[in-house]
Amino acid sequence: MGHSADSGLWRVSLRRGSVTREAEMQQRALVTGAGARLGRAMALCLAQREFDVAIHYATSKEGAEEVAEEIRALGRKAELVQADLLDLDQAEPLVDRAAERLGGPLNGLINNASIFEYDTIETATRESWDRHMLTNLRVPFILTQSFAKQAPKCTKDRDGQLIARSIVVNMVDQRVKKLTPEFMTYSLAKHGLWTLTQTAAQALAPDIRVNAIGPGTTLRGHRQSQEHFEGQRSKSLLQRGPNVSDVTAALGYYLDAPAVTGQLICVDGGQHLTWQTRDVQGVE
């Protein structure tokens, strides 16, 4: 049994039940916040799919260098690009710097870097508002603008259909599907990023696909106890939280799905659908 089809940024061929991928063009991507945690995993996922990767970091240089070594061990090019994304003078040229370091235009952008700090409507300040809006919304907007100006244009697949050769993936949060009054300014910024995902998908088609991933409780926070972390994960619909590999699988799906744009995959064990709240429990 044999079947072949153009798929996303790749030509996917199925032969005897196995999948082989060969790049149809040079693949280059920028991942923000790639020196640690989910950013690191996304960068490695891209390298495994034959992308050369620009690893952005703010302060975690040691972690970024370790990621670069792992990517080079996979036979791909890795370059470090440092920038404080709270400083627009450093953020604005980031795409151009990454493309220059990698030796050509980017066709992948992962807006992963984020500030995640607690506030409420009572405690939010101008500073907390600006920090969250800048890193979680304005900078992804600016980077997407810059990316679009240099990204390869769409071509046609073997069936004569247009196929985007460039992709943006925004790391959002399952919170955009489950409103709460906590993490107020962070949540507002992530809602804005989800709106940007959809409107950018409209504006940049057919050349660029724009999608989002909404992770749930995947990695324990620096200020979070192990007990609280495990409790959050166990209270989702599936009574488990996502692993890092679940999140990178969502990225892989987007890379392989040429007809998908403007979408959000919540990788959260169903956390955004939990319904057993006080207003409905015990109601018959």
27-273: CATH superfamily: NAD(P)-binding Rossmann-like Domain (3.40.50.720)
Q: Is the pTM of this model over 0.75?
A: yes
Strand 51-57 versus strand 78-82 pairing type: parallel
Active-site pick, 118, 190, 235, 253: 190
**Sign of torsion, CA 273 191 195 87?**
negative
Is the bond into 206 cis (omega within 30 degrees of 0)?
Answer: yes
| pLDDT confidence band for 134 (50 / 70 / 90) | very high
Task: Enumerate residues 6+ apart whose C-beta is below 8 A from 196.
Answer: 137, 140, 141, 144, 170
Active-site pick, 118, 153, 156, 186: 186
Let me know if 253 is a catalytic residue. no
Let me know if 190 is a catalytic residue. yes
pLDDT for res 236: 72
pLDDT in tens, 80-92: 999 999 999 999 9
Residue 16 scores a pLDDT above 60: no
Mean pLDDT of 188-206: 98
